[in-house]
């Protein structure tokens, strides 16, 4: 999902990046966990906020759920409609959902809240559309907690933190519990599922981290290139290591 105030659409490679993320080891299991926490049973209704290319909406529909996918990007919604023509996709951001009050049983937002400048406003909107006792599930990574093995740990810390500073809400995931409590949701739970990656599949992500840090001026071009070269050599020698914690929070709307 792009920033909810941006209707110009995703960068050209975002769909490919989302597709790659959906194919990562553990991604399918993480989606299934979110569906279970939602109580997504046949006949229930769920809104998937920041639905991207629509995979979760399609999977929920296969479970007999009345699923609606919303995303602020017209191009992303066009991709989703092209892939899943029978599903319900709508152009909208997290602050103004095109749904009546108390109209859905579940609210799902996967890798969304880190792009929101006002997460509290999004949660107020979630409360509005959820039925009393409805379920909310938030999933995402904390951009300060990429764990990368490197010969230069100080440089790695600089890269991770500089890249995080480019995100609107890089630490939103660690705030999930308190945000939900402050929004008066109940029965709040949170767990962490950590993906461990040791092959070349995550080289584009690591390269992106380094290039982002370089763009801020926090790291020179020469140091960026050396770090990327080291990670590429590690991947080729089966010595790459990345651990990526994913935070999953769930709660119940007030009755």
Has residue 118 got a pLDDT over 50? yes
Structure tokens at 48: 């998937």
Has residue 6 got a pLDDT over 70? no
**pLDDT tens-digit readout, 26-85:** 788 999 999 999 999 999 999 999 999 999 999 999 999 999 999 999 999 999 999 999
Is 156 within 8 Å of 150 (Cβ atoms)? yes
**pLDDT tens-digit readout, 89-98:** 999 999 999 9
Q: Look at phi and psi of residue 217 and say left if phi exceeds 0, alpha if psi is from -120 to 50, else beta.
A: left
- Compute the average pLDDT of residues 189-212: 92
pTM as predicted? 0.89
Burial readout 154-179 (b: 16 or more C-beta within 10 A, e: otherwise): ebbebbbebbbeeeebbebbbbbbeb
What's the DSSP call for residue 25?
Answer: T
Number of neighbours of residue 18 by Cβ within 10 angstroms: 19
Average pLDDT, the chain: 91
pLDDT of residue 81: 94
Has residue 133 got a pLDDT over 80? yes
């Amino acid at each position: 999902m792009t920033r909810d105030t941006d209707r110009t659409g995703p960068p050209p490679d975002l769909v490919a990046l989302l597709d790659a993320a959906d194919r990562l080891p553990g991604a399918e299991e993480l989606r299934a966990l979110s569906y279970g926490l939602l109580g997504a049973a046949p006949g229930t209704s769920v809104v998937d906020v920041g639905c991207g290319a629509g995979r979760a909406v399609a999977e929920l529909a296969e479970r007999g759920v009345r699923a609606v996918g919303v995303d602020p990007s017209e191009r992303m919604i066009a991709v989703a409609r092209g892939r899943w023509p029978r599903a319900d996709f709508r152009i909208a951001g997290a602050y103004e959902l095109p749904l009546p009050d108390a109209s859905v049983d579940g609210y799902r937002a996967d890798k969304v809240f880190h792009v929101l400048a006002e997460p509290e406003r999004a949660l107020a909107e979630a409360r509005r559309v959820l039925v009393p006792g409805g379920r909310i599930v938030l999933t995402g990574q904390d951009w300060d907690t990429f764990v990368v093995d490197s010969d230069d740990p100080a440089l790695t810390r600089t890269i991770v933190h500089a890249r995080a500073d480019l995100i609107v809400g890089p630490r939103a995931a660690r705030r999930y519990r308190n945000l939900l409590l402050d929004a008066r949701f109940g029965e709040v739970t949170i767990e962490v599922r950590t993906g461990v990656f040791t092959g070349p599949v995550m080289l584009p992500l690591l390269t992106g981290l380094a290039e982002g840090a370089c763009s801020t001026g926090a790291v020179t071009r020469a140091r960026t290139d050396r770090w990327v070269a080291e990670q590429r050599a590690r991947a080729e020698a089966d010595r790459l290591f990345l651990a990526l914690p994913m935070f999953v929070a769930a709660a119940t709307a007030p009755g």
